[in-house]
């Protein structure tokens, strides 16, 4: 297998790299800290991906943030901020969309391949029971729609491609450290193992889906 991990310097992104390499996969990486990649800047995305020519069996986008520029999740309407909301959409929805736009040429047309983006259960509209976190929730909901829509388009040109949004569960990383509370969390390595096991079992009938770490479909 040949894989490309976007956001490889993060906790879960790095765990994907280590786990895949442990399986004997050939792994390429891109990240802001190591390569200067800014997924919110199309020129940066295009330039970074132009370094690759050969197709990948797996392209996984593990970028994202709960807090951007110090803005905590907005728990109520009164705490909504235009800049904070736009930043969430830029990083958590537009970024993966730009990666997919410029990564299509790196996805094989003649064999199975997977494009996966890390989403979050809080992006589910049907599963929303607690409210709050307006900007992060809606950005992840937008990401899910992007994956779903792209899966329909790309099925025409890449019949064996599987495009999915994945919920890793609560992972113990710097990303979530302030928000774990009483929630059980798994180490990044375990989260990566879980999601790779899900990816291994997916087929084209599941393209455009939203799945959790156990392989269960998440309500839109």
Domains contained in the chain, CATH given: 2-212 (3.40.50.720)
Give the integer Cα–Cα distance in Å for 31 and 10: 8
From the list 111, 71, 109, the residue with the least C-alpha distance to 88 is 71
pLDDT at 209: 98
Give the integer Cα–Cα distance in Å for 11 and 173: 6
pLDDT, tens digit, 9 for 90 and up, residues 53-89: 999 999 999 999 999 999 999 999 999 999 999 999 9
pLDDT, tens digit, 9 for 90 and up, residues 143-180: 999 999 999 999 999 999 999 999 999 888 665 556 55
- Tell me the three state secondary structure of residue 84: helix
Dihedral angle sign, alpha carbons of residues 43, 48, 54, 60: negative
Q: In what order do the strands lie in the sheet with 26-30?
A: 26-30, 2-6, 58-61, 113-118, 161-167, 210-212
Q: Is pTM, for the whole model, over 0.85?
A: yes
Instruction: Extract the tokens encoding 173.
Output: 């990383």
Residue 182 — very low, low, confident or very high, per pLDDT cuts 50/70/90?
low
Whether residue 150 contacts residue 104, with contact meaning beta carbons closer than 8 Å, is answered with no
Q: At a CB cut-off of 8 Å and minimum separation 6, what does 128 contact?
A: 122, 137
Alpha helices per DSSP H over the chain: 11-22, 32-35, 42-49, 82-89, 95-103, 134-157, 188-201
- Tell me the three state secondary structure of residue 27: strand
Cα R_g (the chain), whole angstroms:
16
Residue 208 — very low, low, confident or very high, per pLDDT cuts 50/70/90?
very high
């Amino acid at each position: 297998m040949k894989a490309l991990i976007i956001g490889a310097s993060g906790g879960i992104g790095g765990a994907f790299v280590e786990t895949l390499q442990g399986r004997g996969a050939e792994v390429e990486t891109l990240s802001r800290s190591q390569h200067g990649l800014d997924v919110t800047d199309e020129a940066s995305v295009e330039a970074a991906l132009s370094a690759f020519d050969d197709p990948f069996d797996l392209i996984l986008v593990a970028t994202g943030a709960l807090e951007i520029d110090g803005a905590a999740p907005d728990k109520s309407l009164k705490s909504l901020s235009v800049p904070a909301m736009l930043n969430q959409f830029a990083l958590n929805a537009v970024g993966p969309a730009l990666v997919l736009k410029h990564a299509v040429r790196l996805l094989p047309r003649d064999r199975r391949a997977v494009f996966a983006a890390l989403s979050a259960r809080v992006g589910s509209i049907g599963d929303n029971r607690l409210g709050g976190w307006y900007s992060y929730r809606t950005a992840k909901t937008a990401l899910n729609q992007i994956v779903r829509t792209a899966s329909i388009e790309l099925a025409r040109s890449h019949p064996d491609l599987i495009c999915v949004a994945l919920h890793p569960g609560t992972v113990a990383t710097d990303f979530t450290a302030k928000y774990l509370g009483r929630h059980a969390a798994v180490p990044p390595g375990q989260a990566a193992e879980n999601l790779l096991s899900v990816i291994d079992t997916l087929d084209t009938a599941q393209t455009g889906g939203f799945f959790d770490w156990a392989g269960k479909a998440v309500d839109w």
